[in-house]
Amino acid sequence: MKLDKRRLGDKSVTPLCNASGTIATQPSGLRHLAEIVKQMGVVTGKSVGLKPRDGYREPIFLSYMPMGFMNAVGLTNPGAQAYRDEIRRVGFPQDKVLMGSVFGGSLDEFVQVVEIMDDVVDAHEGNFSCPHVAGHGMAMGQDPDLVYAITRAVVDKTRKPFFAKLTPNTNNIAAIAKAAMRGGAYGITAINTVGPGYFSHDGHPVLTNKVGGISGRGILPMGLKVVREIRDACPYAPIKAEGGIAIARDILQYLDAGATFCSLGSCATGMTDGDLIGYVDTLFIDMDSGANNAEYCLKDVSTKYQKVKITGVERYDCDFKSVTTDANVKAGPGQFVFAWIPGVGEKPFSLVHASPLTLGVLERGPFTKEFNQLQPGDSFYVRGPYGQAVEPSGDVVVVGGGCGIAGIVLAAHQGNVKGKVTALLAARDTHHIPYQHELERVADVHIATEDGSLGEKGLVTALFDKVSLRQGCTFYNCGPKKMLDAILPLELKVTSADKIYSSLDYMTRCGLGICGSCADEKGRRTCVEGPFMRADG
């Protein structure tokens, strides 16, 4: 078999990996990916630096053609110490290799990050190749002497394997690879994204950073060329190949070019956990059989924007607005869209209604502050819908807290068509209960406010003692984590965990499961698995 186990450090693992910055970027996601994809032997984390870095505002990811992508994340990370501590907290399977990716703005920073991460990873990967952050990545990786010096300094501080991740954007890749190996590198990773490149919509640059690295099937020939050049220059170096892999034939080509390990990256865009498991299993079958069935596992995803015009704005007494547009989208309860204002950014919003497209917007940061300045007649852009739609039927209870009430309106409407709906709403006061009157048209509504200005005085948990709920009903919850944690034990007294769905506002940046930023505590990417996540998942 072409992908038999290989030695990496003190472990023998299947030589299939994920590329750094894809699928599993949160520590919980690293553990989850290692657990669910049995045939992936090496799981690579996001690049981390010495200090926290916010990176770029969204949009950070786009599809410019089928299976052709660009990204500019900006080395977003919480800092090496916080990242290390979280890895220790969530744990990692001992039968897999956890490869930590590190970057720095200087030799000393590289060394310090490796020292911080050393006790929680099995191997290190030095990012000498990010193409869109000044002073980092590619800026350092094009200088053989600097690559040698950093590699030498890092290897002197760790006994773990160190891979130098090199950029294809150079005309002396062989010299750089040789320098890394002379410096004591265990192996070479090639390649990172190509570029940077540029893409626009209606004359506006889509990426907030304007330019970004190019990935996807189109960069396969570049990756193969670089791996071949590195193999010729460094005959005995282990090579972790990545760039453009999508089907079994791509892996075979990389192995023929001299690769030792092969990494999947943007090919997983749009895949749920189940999709990813099936895709990898199919890749392995195709490798042995010569078939090409993995091609049919790839997802046809879109980040195309649609321009919409605001037809109405309903203002509430708090910083919440309901914005109605002239557009209609085909979407179900639980799905979401991204709203984009060129030059400002984009954010995901739950659908209050799909026809006409209606969004509930709470003013929380720079983007929503700008968005809430828009008036009827103004335009913005949307992409989507994304996420998994739920199908309420039978006896349904929707539970919403504050602005989270916007996320249950569509579920209440659909549930009303197929059964009885009870709505339990809560907020700190009467001014923070949006969509009350609309929900009263389709549901039996009960309200709790902390100050007692509307309904019961207290939290939403107080309503469970006041309202008669039928055993076996289905719950759809949307609100802050504290509320969701408090109501789960009460709901489990009424129904089973497989009938409890909760939506929590995790950081959602791409909407397509590839950046991994929205991983929940279990490591599930909520943008593709949810956002309504089943309690027994």
Structural domain spans, the chain: 6-297, 306-386, 396-505
Among residues 2, 41, 47, the alpha carbon closest in space to that of 18 is found at 41
pLDDT of residue 141: 61
Give the contacts of 497 (CB within 8 A, at least 6 positions apart). 534, 535, 536
d(CA 150, CA 103): 11
CATH topology of domain 6-297: TIM Barrel (3.20.20)
What are the phi and psi torsion angles at 348 (to 5°)? -85, 145
d(CA 90, CA 263): 24
For the chain, give the mean pLDDT.
94
Give the contacts of 417 (CB within 8 A, at least 6 positions apart). none
Question: Is pLDDT of 139 > 80?
Answer: no
d(CA 501, CA 366): 30
pLDDT of residue 36: 98
Between 137-146, 393-402, 477-486, the lowest mean confidence (pLDDT) is in: 137-146
Domain 396-505 has CATH 3.40.50.2300: no
Give the contacts of 10 (CB within 8 A, at least 6 positions apart). 122
Mean pLDDT value of segment 96-114:
95
Question: Over the stretch 242-282, which tens digit does the pLDDT of each residue have?
Answer: 999 999 999 999 999 999 999 999 999 999 999 999 999 99
Question: Is pLDDT of 146 > 70?
Answer: yes
Question: Is pLDDT of 340 > 60?
Answer: yes
Q: Which residue among the candidates 130, 234, 473, 518 is catalytic per the annotation?
A: 130
pLDDT of residue 133: 46
pLDDT of residue 324: 98
User: CATH assignment of 306-386, given 3.40.630.10, 3.40.50.2000, 2.120.10.30, 2.40.30.10?
Assistant: 2.40.30.10
pLDDT of residue 50: 95
Give the HSE-up count for residue 105: Cα atoms under 13 Å, Cβ half-sphere.
Answer: 8
For residue 63, the one-letter residue type is: S
Question: Over the stretch 147-159, which tens digit does the pLDDT of each residue have?
Answer: 999 999 999 999 9
pLDDT of residue 504: 87
Question: Could you tell me the end-to-end alpha-carbon distance of the chain, in angstroms, rounded to an integer?
Answer: 34
Between 128-137, 197-206, 411-420, 428-437, the lowest mean confidence (pLDDT) is in: 128-137
pLDDT of residue 1: 59
Distance of alpha carbon 381 from the chain centroid: 21
Question: Is pLDDT of 505 > 50?
Answer: yes
Q: Model confidence at 399, in pLDDT bands (50, 70, 90)?
A: very high
Question: Is pLDDT of 317 > 80?
Answer: no
* Angle, CA of 481, 272 and 499, to the nearest 5°: 50
Is 130 part of the annotated catalytic residue set?
A: yes
Among residues 368, 405, 409, the alpha carbon closest in space to that of 479 is found at 405
Inter-residue contact 418 to 411 (CB < 8 Å): no
Among residues 352, 273, 278, the alpha carbon closest in space to that of 534 is found at 273
Q: What is the pTM assigned to this prediction?
A: 0.94
Question: Is pLDDT of 131 > 70?
Answer: no
User: And the tokens for 380?
Assistant: 């913005």
- Preceding omega of 93 cis (within 30 degrees of 0): no
Percentage of residues in the chain with pLDDT exceeding 70? 97
Inter-residue contact 167 to 142 (CB < 8 Å): yes
